[in-house]
A and B are shown apart, each in its own frame.
Chain A
Amino acid sequence: MLRIENLCKKLGSFELTDINLNIEKDEYFIVLGPTGTGKTVLLELIAGMYQPDKGSVWFGDAKISDLYPEQRSIGFVYQDYALFPHLTVKENIFFGIKCRGIDVNEGNKRFREIVDFLNIEYLLDRFPSTLSGGEQQRTAIARALVTSPRILLLDEPLSALDPRTKQIFQEELRRIHDNLKTTTLHITHDFSEAMALGSQVGVLHNGEIMQVGKPMEVFRHPNSHFVAEFVGAENIIEGHGRGKTIEVSNNINIETIMDKTGPSTLTIRPEDIIISREKLFSSAQNNIPGKIINMIHQGPLYRITVDADIALTALVTMQAVEEMGLQKDMPVWVAFKSAAVHVL
């Protein structure tokens, strides 16, 4: 539905290079990237705050990048919500209805629906400066959705909220999308939001889209060192491929299920690594001896780093740590399946 073709824009220190994205109708698309990579600029280009230096934006067969923002039918919610401070919540929400010249009865009906849906009746007569972050967000979303935009753009919608509120509003965003089905483009630097909400995710780095796919796919199969690191994959190891074996140090070869020849990068997710006191005779094709060099307590888990010529990090439950009596400097074995090794 929304198609971005070869979009380029240089703006101050931000530069977007040759962005291509395709967002299907009803999709919840997440653009993921570190802070300062021009994610907001991308949204502003789509909505028409700036003209692209090159490339175009399309809604189906209609090129919208030549249109004024008011002609594009795009809902925009900024990170800080940008509510109109001189208008009440009610006036903020009615703003688009009046501007778009929507018929009074229809306008009132839509207003009522969105207010009931988001449970913001009690806020209507208040001014934005008196609202909490979550209340401002619901108001901003109501203001955008009441005009029935073709796509809703959300600029880091959860990052201004405290962790508890964030959890609640993540659910709220899911509920909104499940019910209203508005095609949504949400940008964030937090991969967990992508996992929780996104039907598709695109990873943006240095102004380029590095990878697009379902969140789980990107998580399991990052296509580059950057994506792997960014989505939280640890155990990124450089080596030399010889068929289904990758030599990562003089003594260590890692078995994989993919043929690869020449310099390679591989990742293994910490939860896929098993730690044991003795060598395991199991289906795991990779067994490497080493020594525990670090143990960090993380909630119900331990993050344990083992020096096995290469440093490998594993997630182990507290119960397992106690049962095995794992301690720092203890010699252990690490084991993982060849299928758990992801070659980039």
Chain B
Amino acid sequence: MEKSEVRGQNILFTAVISISIAFLTGFIILAISMVLLKGLPNMIPSILSREIQFAIKLSFLTSVISTLLCIAIAVPVSYGMSRLEFFGKRFVSTVLDIPIALPPIVSGVALLLLFGTTEFGHALAARGIQFIFTPLGIILAQFFVNVPYMIKVLGSTMNDIDPRMEFVARTLGCSRLQAFFKITLPLARSGLMAGIVITWARALGEFGAALMLAGATRLKTETLPVSLFLNMSCGDLKLALAAASLLIIISVLSLFLFEIMGGKQYELSRSSLY
């Protein structure tokens, strides 16, 4: 090849890469700033409105509770998947990943059928545990959709922790339980924090599954995304974009927090962020 031809090819190569990066970055900033430009000026009055205040409170409450539930179940599950060998482990691991692969709206339908049409669901409802069209349903939907992410982030952290650490702790006199709480859990701290941030941010934005299970009732099951949806539908752009701007701000802050946590967990979970 001619010298000039080589040079030309290399320049073209660099150009394609640079343009792709610039294009995508600009595209994202542009799209988001459209919302923020229209939403931010009305933020303060909107936040003061009863509806948005309700949505903020409900979103925070449900997302915090569902995140706590995710921690409670993901910690033992990810530990078990990382440390135990058992028959059918691959099958179980695949099942645990299913909610990630499903469109959230399908998860919502599945939950609706389970709790709405079965004896099990009726029995729970008769005891006052009602998931359909209630805030409880929002929590359940958020939990169902997000728990696999928490398991993934925590699982990769647990895999990185040398099992010999726990073993040494046991030779020093700890029981398995003590070794877990004194050694493994503290060492998994960064993964746990990253998992909490990602799970909570996703729970705040959860829409499809929650919509199916809990419905979209103003001032009852109205989370921030639902508020955005309802107000867009009835043409109240001011409230809709205020809700959207709030969600953007929270998401960007979470992403930023996530970056700070750093490490491998971050790489893994960013790839499975949405």
Chain A interface (Cβ < 8 Å from any Cβ of B): 44, 47-49, 68-70, 72, 74-76, 78, 82, 84-86, 95-96, 99-101, 143-144, 147, 149
Contacts and interface: CB of A to CB of B under 8 A. Distances in A.
B85 to A, nearest CB: 12
A187 to B, nearest CB: 15
Given A70-B175, A78-B164, A82-B164, A95 B169 contact: yes
Interface of B: 162, 164-165, 167-175, 178, 182-183, 186-187, 189
Contacts of B182: 95, 99
Contacts of B165: 82, 84
A78 B168 contact: yes
Most buried by A among B173, B178, B183: B173
A49 B173 contact: no
B173 A99 contact: yes
Nearest to A100: B173
B157 to A, nearest CB: 13
A70 B172 CA distance: 6
A101 B167 CA distance: 18
Contact of B162 (A68, A69, A75, A82): A82
Nearest to A149: B171
B169 to A, nearest CB: 7
Contacts of A147: 172-173
B187 A47 contact: no
Contacts of A78: 164, 168
Nearest to B167: A49
B171 A100 contact: no
11 contacts: A47-B171, A68-B170, A69-B171, A70-B173, A76-B167, A76-B171, A82-B168, A86-B189, A99-B172, A99-B182, A149-B171
Nearest to A44: B167
Nearest to B174: A99
A75 B171 contact: yes
A327 B171 CA distance: 58
A143 B172 CA distance: 8
A149 B170 CA distance: 13
A96 B187 contact: no
B187 to A, nearest CB: 6
Contacts of A44: 167
Contacts, number: 58
Given A84-B169, A100-B172, 10 more contacts: A69-B167, A70-B174, A70-B175, A76-B167, A76-B171, A82-B162, A84-B168, A86-B186, A99-B174, A99-B182
B173 to A, nearest CB: 4
Contacts of B172: 70, 95-96, 99-100, 143-144, 147
Most buried by B among A68, A72, A99, A100: A99
A316 to B, nearest CB: 47
Given A82-B164, A82-B165, A99-B178, A69 B187 contact: no
B178 to A, nearest CB: 7
Contact of B187 (A70, A86, A99): A86
Contacts of B164: 49, 78, 82
Contacts of A74: 171
A149 B172 CA distance: 9
A96 B182 CA distance: 12
Contacts of A82: 162, 164-165, 168
B60 to A, nearest CB: 31
A84 B173 contact: no
A84 B170 CA distance: 12
Nearest to B186: A86
Nearest to B170: A69
A99 B171 CA distance: 10
Contacts of A48: 170-171
A57 to B, nearest CB: 14
B162 A96 contact: no
A157 B183 CA distance: 23
Contacts of B189: 86
A101 B187 CA distance: 23
A74 B185 CA distance: 24
Nearest first, the 3 closest Cβ-Cβ pairs linking A and B are: A96-B172, A99-B173, A100-B173
A44 B174 CA distance: 16
B257 to A, nearest CB: 21
Contacts of A84: 165, 168-169, 183
A86 B169 CA distance: 13
Contact of B171 (A72, A85, A86, A101): A72
A78 B167 CA distance: 11
Nearest to A81: B168
B102 to A, nearest CB: 37
B161 to A, nearest CB: 10
A78 B183 CA distance: 17
Contacts of A100: 172-173
Contacts of A149: 171
Given A78-B164, A99-B178, A70 B183 contact: no
